[in-house]
């Protein structure tokens, strides 16, 4: 199994508060991704990174920002959490941009 961890695994927060999710990999893969999974919507890409300090938006990036200061860490920040951001968040990594992605265990976020 690819070495990917996500923290925290579960979080409950209040509307309006900032939240940061962390993804950590030990595989030295260049590409990292953040997805959210919601019933009826499947997996949707939020942001991705193709190198240190190189990031770009996915299809549902509004209200989210990311940072990657080291190869192994990719942070997802909800600047001001809203109830619509209640979801399960998955981090993924890939050696090549178009090859398989390996997913972390997920973070269940509830915004009350």
Partner 1 sequence: AQKVTQAQTEISVVEKEDVTLDCVYETRDTTYYLFWYKQPPSGELVFLIRRNSFDEQNEISGRYSWNFQKSTSSFNFTITASQVVDSAVYFCALSEEGGMNAGGTSYGKLTFGQGTILTVHP
102 contacts partner 1 (rule: CB under 8 A) = yes
Q: How far is the CB of 112 from partner 1 (least distance, A)?
A: 21
Q: What share of the chain is helix, strand, coil (3-state, %, to 5)?
A: 5, 60, 40
| CA-to-CA separations, 34 to 9, 19, 103, in angstroms, rounded | 14, 14, 9
**Residue listed under structure tokens 């997913």:** 103
Say whether residue 50 binds partner 1 (CB under 8 A). Answer: yes
Closest by CA to 91, choosing from 112, 108, 72, 105, is 105
Residue 96 is a binding residue for partner 1 (CB under 8 A): yes
Site mask, partner 1, residues 1-40, x = CB under 8 A? ------------------------------x-x-------
Which residues in this chain contact partner 1 in the complex, by CB under 8 A?
Answer: 31, 33, 42-43, 45, 48, 50-51, 54, 56, 88, 90, 92, 94, 96-103, 105-106
């Amino acid at each position: 199994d690819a070495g990917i961890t996500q923290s925290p695994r579960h979080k409950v927060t209040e509307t309006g508060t900032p939240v940061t999710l962390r993804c950590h990999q030990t595989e030295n893969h260049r590409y990292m991704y953040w997805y959210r999974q919601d019933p009826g919507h499947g997996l949707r890409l939020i942001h991705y990174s193709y190198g240190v300090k190189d990031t770009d938006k996915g299809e549902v990036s509004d209200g989210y920002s990311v940072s990657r200061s080291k190869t192994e860490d990719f942070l997802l920040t909800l600047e001001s959490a809203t109830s619509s951001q209640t979801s399960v968040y998955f981090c993924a990594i890939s050696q090549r941009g178009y090859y398989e992605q390996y997913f972390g265990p997920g973070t269940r976020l509830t915004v009350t």
